[in-house]
Amino acid sequence: MPLPNPSKGWSSSTSRLLALYSFLFVAWSSILMGVLYFEVSGYLNKLTRHSLLQRQHLFAHMSGKQLDDALIASQAFEERSFDAYGLFDAQFNPLGGQIRQVPPELGLDGKIHELSRCLDADDPHLPRDSCDAVAIKVRDGRWLVLVRDNGSLFVVTRIILHALLWGLSLTIIPGIAGWYLLRRRPLKRIRAIQASAEQIVAGDLTRRLPLSARRDELDMLAAIVNAMLDRIERLMHEVKGVCDNIAHDLRTPLTRLRAQLYRIRQQAGDDSPQAEALEQAIGETDTLMARFRGLLRISELEDRQRRAGFVELDPHGLLLELHDFYLPLAEDGDIDLQLQMPEQLPALHGDRELLFEALANLVGNAIKFTPAQGQVLMRALSDGDSVHIEVHDSGPGIPADERGAVLKRFYRSEEGQRHTGFGLGLSIVAAIVDLHGFELEVGGSELGGAKLVLHCRR
Amino acid sequence: MPRVLTIEDDAVTAQEIVAELSSHGLEVEWADNGREGLAKAIAGGYDLITLDRMLPEVDGLTIVTTLRTLKIATPILMISALSDVDERVRGLRAGGDDYLTKPFASDEMAARVEVLLRRNSVPLAQTRLQVADLELDLISHEAKRGEQTLNLLPTEYKLLEFLMRHAGQVITRMMIFEEVWGYHFDPGTNLIDVHIGRLRKKIDAAGQTPLIRTVRGSGYAIAEPV
């Protein structure tokens, strides 16, 4: 039975926690930076307007040469050309300053306007993007245009964005690395647990899940499972002990019964009126003994002590022998028994006698349930290094809803009631198949009856 | 008269073994524990030993091993109640000659005892087997009934050889399946009967005296017609 693979469709709680923390951190820092940006930009905007207002007031009271000198002097202090001015005559012809043209969007009302596109000028020192600007008419009738660039605001935005970017990358990159490292170790331990669990599932009940020295949640879980396994193992032993005792207690009386009946039959002689009844009683005892041996055999197989005897064997020889063994029986029942297999088949790893027994059961059943003039087909197919052995028949088949049940002990389909058989055959097959780690598939055949496929995987 | 030692702790089973073997004309002695059994077996003079696998005091397997170590080659039929599949292999490897699992039929047991007792009656070097006018050449694998050459399949040849090597003895279906096919499970249906039927058709053709006899409830025997 395959266990779920932890790397497919399963996520570790560590990665989920890390992802959640990362998301929260990103959200928190974005909000922090957003608020900071909003506050700082509002403040800077206010400062800009204030400075423009101051200049407006200052220059509004000047005129003539005094104004020209003051403007030139103010510009001399401006290193980073956040501020600029332009002096125009009454007809808006430029007289001085860096601004050679009144911005078209600027209203000539003496109020501060925020312009989205500031100036069309080639001078790289002049603000181009958004700016605050004001046009005032000074006392001597000239027009003065004052501009303050909002550049400092952009710088602040850039600084905040950079801070955010650095913060995120310094969080996310080590976060991903940490996630990978943190996730690897628990996954490695899960794989170790899975490997042990697979051996337990395969029948080794003495195995336990590995515990580490960390004593963490995984260890707690493993310890709980181990305690459960201890209990299961003990119960299994008890049950097996009881079964073995019952078997042992039954074996001797059965042997005695058979022996005594046989003795009476010998003494009675062939002409005795009891001879026939005694024959029947012996026959019934033999059936009982065969059924009993079948049951014992299944529990032996379920003990799985025989894997040590597994060898590499050629399926050709096995199938040919099986075909030869059953051919006379099939011919006597007027059934066409055929064997189809390719020339090359990969070797099987298993116990020859047990595989012969399993296949003999399948072929024997197929012949038993196939009416005269029917057909039974044994077919082997290879697929990579696996072999698939199919047994088809043209009998009544197995209804789809009974296909799972036929492998259970003592099950016999309604149709099968007319035939003799112990109902244990397919259970023995199932036990053998299980012991080998193979798979048995029950289906419908193209011949009209049942199809049983033994998937022999490496 | 061949002497048989039965080592068996269950009195009723032992009585049945003794009764069955006595009825076959054998002289049987019974030991009900391992220690006594081993002492008797070593003292010798027996032609065969039937040995229970699980015994009080000295275990069956130990008895076989001890006897074989002492170079006592008396044929041993092991009778076991142990259900382990490997148990047969272990018993035979230790030096047992044949192995029977409980519950067993006493005629099956007797047939096996007879075969073991007469195991060496056909010398290994013999190249021909003969029963009445049926001849089997072990070198050329050729079978003849009178002047008529029989066309046998490999399995049929093996089956006939097994029967003829033990001519006059009852051979059970289980023994046939074990010897001819080499398997130890119960093939269930009347498969062995069908194979015997085939062989019979070839050997005992119409008008000829039948040589293969069915022994009711037990098995088959090939013998000179009486």
* B20 to A244: CB separation less than 8 angstroms, yes or no: no
- A311-313/A348-350 β-pairing: antiparallel
* B13 to A328: CB separation less than 8 angstroms, yes or no: no
Final residue before a domain boundary, out of A287, A303, A319: A303
Looking at residue B82, its pLDDT comes to 67
Q: Are A187 and A10 in contact (CB under 8 A)?
A: no
Residue A50 pLDDT greater than 70, yes or no: yes
Residue A243 pLDDT greater than 90, yes or no: no
- Residue A258 has its nearest CB partner, among B103, B181, B190, at B103
Q: Are B127 and B164 in contact (CB under 8 A)?
A: no
Residue A405 forms contact with B (CB below 8 Å): no
User: What pTM was computed for the model?
Assistant: 0.66
Looking at residue A149, its pLDDT comes to 76
* A364 to B103: CB separation less than 8 angstroms, yes or no: no
Strand partners, A381: A388
Residue A284 forms contact with B (CB below 8 Å): no
A157 band by pLDDT with thresholds 50, 70 and 90: confident
Q: Residue B136 in 3-state DSSP?
A: strand
The reply to whether A195 and A286 lie within a common domain is no
- Residue B84 has its nearest CB partner, among A283, A300, A360, at A300
Looking at residue A321, its pLDDT comes to 93
Q: Are A248 and B81 in contact (CB under 8 A)?
A: yes
Q: Which residues of B touch A294 (CB under 8 A)?
A: 186
User: What mean pLDDT is reported for chain A?
Assistant: 82
- Quick one: average pLDDT of B129-146? 90
Looking at residue A422, its pLDDT comes to 44
A421 band by pLDDT with thresholds 50, 70 and 90: very low
* B106 to A422: CB separation less than 8 angstroms, yes or no: no
Q: Are A143 and A90 in contact (CB under 8 A)?
A: yes
Per residue in A245-301, pLDDT (tens digit) is 777 678 778 888 888 888 888 788 778 888 888 888 988 888 888 778 777 777 777
- Quick one: average pLDDT of A138-166? 81
Number of cross-chain residue pairs from A and B with Cβ atoms under 8 Å apart: 108
Residue A399 belongs to a domain: yes
- Quick one: average pLDDT of A124-136? 73
A419 band by pLDDT with thresholds 50, 70 and 90: very low
Smallest CA–CA distance from A422 into chain B, residue:
B188
Higher pLDDT: A423 or B32? It is: B32
* A368 to B189: CB separation less than 8 angstroms, yes or no: yes
End-to-end CA distance of chain B: 23
Tell me which of B99, B153, B194 to substitute to probe the interface with A (most A C-beta atoms closer than 10 Å): B194
Smallest CA–CA distance from A359 into chain B, residue:
B187
The reply to whether A90 and A43 lie within a common domain is yes
* A252 to B102: CB separation less than 8 angstroms, yes or no: yes
Smallest CA–CA distance from B185 into chain A, residue:
A357
Residue A212 belongs to a domain: no
Looking at residue A417, its pLDDT comes to 46
The reply to whether A270 and A331 lie within a common domain is no
Residue B181 forms contact with A (CB below 8 Å): yes
The reply to whether A384 and A397 lie within a common domain is yes
Q: What ranges do the domains of chain B cover?
A: 3-117, 128-222
Q: Which residues of A touch B81 (CB under 8 A)?
A: 248, 251-252
Looking at residue A375, its pLDDT comes to 94
Smallest CA–CA distance from B86 into chain A, residue:
A306
CA A166 to chain centroid: 35
Residue A353 belongs to a domain: yes
Element (H, E) at B142: strand B142-145
Residue B11 forms contact with A (CB below 8 Å): no
Residue A80 pLDDT greater than 60, yes or no: no
Q: At what angle do helices A425-436 and A275-303 cross, to 10 degrees?
A: 20
Residue A209 belongs to a domain: no
Smallest CA–CA distance from A362 into chain B, residue:
B187
The reply to whether A281 and A315 lie within a common domain is no
The reply to whether A17 and A32 lie within a common domain is yes
How many domains is chain A partitioned into structurally? 3
The reply to whether A196 and A238 lie within a common domain is no
Per residue in B169-203, pLDDT (tens digit) is 999 998 999 999 988 887 765 889 999 999 999 98
Residue A39 belongs to a domain: yes
Distances in Å between the alpha carbon of A3 and those of A195, A197, A223, A378?
9, 8, 19, 32
Looking at residue A180, its pLDDT comes to 81
Q: How far apart are CA A215 and CA A223, in angstroms?
A: 10
Q: Are B61 and B52 in contact (CB under 8 A)?
A: no
Residue A327 forms contact with B (CB below 8 Å): no
A6 band by pLDDT with thresholds 50, 70 and 90: low
Domain B128-222 CATH (choose: 1.10.3720.10, 1.10.10.10, 1.20.59.10, 1.25.40.20): 1.10.10.10
Amino acid at A66: Q
Range among A213-222, B64-73, B84-93 with highest mean pLDDT value = B64-73
* B197 to A328: CB separation less than 8 angstroms, yes or no: yes
Residue A418 pLDDT greater than 50, yes or no: no
The reply to whether A436 and A297 lie within a common domain is no
Residue A69 pLDDT greater than 80, yes or no: yes
Range among A21-35, A173-187, A357-371 with highest mean pLDDT value = A357-371
Residue A310 forms contact with B (CB below 8 Å): no
Residue B194 forms contact with A (CB below 8 Å): yes
Q: Are A104 and A115 in contact (CB under 8 A)?
A: no
Q: How far apart are CA B192 and CA B163, in angstroms?
A: 13
* B86 to A328: CB separation less than 8 angstroms, yes or no: no
- Residue B184 has its nearest CB partner, among A252, A301, A353, at A353
Tell me which of A325, A419, A436 to substitute to probe the interface with B (most B C-beta atoms closer than 10 Å): A325
Looking at residue A308, its pLDDT comes to 65
Q: Which residues of A touch B194 (CB under 8 A)?
A: 328-329, 332
> What range defines the domain where residue A245 resides?
217-303
Residue A371 belongs to a domain: yes
The reply to whether A295 and A313 lie within a common domain is no
Looking at residue A121, its pLDDT comes to 60
Looking at residue A416, its pLDDT comes to 47
Residue B43 forms contact with A (CB below 8 Å): no
Q: Are A341 and A379 in contact (CB under 8 A)?
A: yes
Residue B191 forms contact with A (CB below 8 Å): yes
A423 band by pLDDT with thresholds 50, 70 and 90: low
Residue A192 belongs to a domain: yes
The reply to whether A80 and A152 lie within a common domain is yes
Final residue before a domain boundary, out of A283, A303, A323: A303
Share of chain A above pLDDT 90, in %: 19
Looking at residue A120, its pLDDT comes to 60
Smallest CA–CA distance from A270 into chain B, residue:
B216
Q: How far apart are CA A429 and CA A308, in angstroms?
A: 19
Q: Which residues of B touch A324 (CB under 8 A)?
A: 153, 155
Smallest CA–CA distance from A295 into chain B, residue:
B83
Per residue in A296-346, pLDDT (tens digit) is 777 777 766 656 678 899 999 999 999 999 999 999 999 999 999 998 899
Residue B197 forms contact with A (CB below 8 Å): yes
The reply to whether A117 and A241 lie within a common domain is no
Q: How far apart are CA B186 and CA A41, in angstroms?
A: 95
* B191 to A306: CB separation less than 8 angstroms, yes or no: no
Residue B84 pLDDT greater than 80, yes or no: no
Per residue in B154-164, pLDDT (tens digit) is 999 999 999 99
Strand partners, B219: B172, B215
* B84 to A290: CB separation less than 8 angstroms, yes or no: no
Buried b (16+ CB within 10 A) or exposed e, A201-235: eebebebbbeeeeeeeebbeebeebbeebeeeeee
Looking at residue A304, its pLDDT comes to 62
How far A181 CA sits from the closest chain B CA (Å)? 49
* A422 to B188: CB separation less than 8 angstroms, yes or no: yes
Q: Residue A20 in 3-state DSSP?
A: helix
Buried b (16+ CB within 10 A) or exposed e, B141-167: eebebeeeebebeebbbbbbbbbbbbb
Locate the DSSP E strands across A53-194: 83-88, 94-97, 113-115, 131-137, 143-149
User: What mean pLDDT is reported for chain B?
Assistant: 88
Looking at residue B106, its pLDDT comes to 83
Residue A207 belongs to a domain: no
Smallest CA–CA distance from A355 into chain B, residue:
B183
Q: Which residues of B touch A272 (CB under 8 A)?
A: none
Residue B25 forms contact with A (CB below 8 Å): no
Helices (H) and strands (E) in chain B, counts: 8, 12
Task: Give the CATH superfamily of B3-117.
Answer: Response regulator (3.40.50.2300)
Residue B82 forms contact with A (CB below 8 Å): no
Residue A329 forms contact with B (CB below 8 Å): yes
* A357 to B216: CB separation less than 8 angstroms, yes or no: no
Number of other CB atoms surrounding residue A43 within 10 Å: 12
Interface of B with A in 107-126 (CB under 8 A): 107
The reply to whether A173 and A100 lie within a common domain is yes
CATH number for A346: 3.30.565.10
Residue A364 forms contact with B (CB below 8 Å): yes
Final residue before a domain boundary, out of A262, A278, A303: A303
Helix, strand, coil percentages in chain A from 3-state DSSP, rounded to 5: 55, 15, 30
- Quick one: average pLDDT of A350-356? 89
* A306 to B85: CB separation less than 8 angstroms, yes or no: yes
How far A289 CA sits from the closest chain B CA (Å)? 7
